[in-house]
Amino acid sequence: MYKLIIFGPPGVGKGTQAELLAKKLDLFHFSTGNYLRELTEKETETARKVKEILNKGELVPDDIMIEIVQGALENNNKANGFILDGFPRTVKQAEELDRIFKDMNLQDIIIIYLKVNDEEIIKRLQLRGRADDSKEIIKKRLSVYKQTTAKVLEYYKSKNKKIIEINGIGDIEKINNIIISKLNENY
């Protein structure tokens, strides 16, 4: 059973690689970004608050995200496992995710860490053309990533979690094949 977290800065290709891995390995793919974007289309108070937070390039509060991800994992029915995309983004979220994994008796989680330089990320995100991908918002999101989310990687290293580091620049399919090859070495 694959238990994966795909990790890296915004625009590194987490969603693309997670979708490919989910198809090829028959995994439950939970993208917090997609979930939150779908949520903002709804006419609720929570949706309005989330939309306001995302439009500023900020992170949705930990307690909301933890509840969302826990619900998604508990409702996952894929026997081959799961891949989390876009979570955790803070050390508190990582700690809570560890608690959720422990409560669900899930072990041997592997973190797939995609690396790409800032210039490539800015270029990719501007080409993507989503409403939350203006140059100002991109720079804010990169700053938030470096100040907050990058610390999650250090947290996982301190906990001796299995981390597979992958260069995220290059052909999408080749990168995906490298990830699968590395996963096969570790499962």
pLDDT tens-digit readout, 88-97: 999 999 999 9
Burial class (CB within 10 angstroms; exposed 0-12, middle 13-18, buried 19+) of 118: middle
What is the band of 169 on the pLDDT scale with cuts at 50, 70, 90?
very high
Q: Choose from 46-50, 65-69, 143-147, 174-178 the range with maximum mean pLDDT.
A: 174-178
Which of these, 56, 5, 52, 12, lies nearest to 32 by C-alpha position?
5
Q: What is the pLDDT of residue 186?
A: 86
Which CATH code fits 2-173?
Answer: 3.40.50.300
Q: Helix %, strand %, coil % for the chain, to 5?
A: 60, 15, 30
Q: Distance of CA 177 to CAs 3, 20, 89, 120, 180, Å? A: 18, 10, 26, 21, 5
What is the band of 135 on the pLDDT scale with cuts at 50, 70, 90?
confident
| pLDDT beyond 80 at 77 | no
Instruction: Give per-residue pLDDT as tens, 44-61.
Output: 988 898 999 988 888 899
What is the band of 134 on the pLDDT scale with cuts at 50, 70, 90?
confident
The upper half-sphere exposure of residue 166, i.e. CA atoms within 13 Å in the direction of its Cβ, equals: 30
CA 108, 114, 117: angle at the middle one, nearest 5?
155
CB atoms within 10 A of CB 160: 7
Q: What is the pLDDT of residue 121?
A: 92
Domain ranges of the chain: 2-173
* The 3-state secondary structure of 2-22, one letter per residue: EEEEEECCCCCCHHHHHHHHH
> What letter would DSSP give residue 56?
T
- Bridge partners of 7, per DSSP, are 113
Strands (E), the chain: 2-7, 28-31, 81-85, 110-115, 162-167
Q: What is the mean pLDDT of the chain?
A: 93
Q: What is the pLDDT of residue 57?
A: 82
Average the pLDDT over 124-135 and give the result. 83
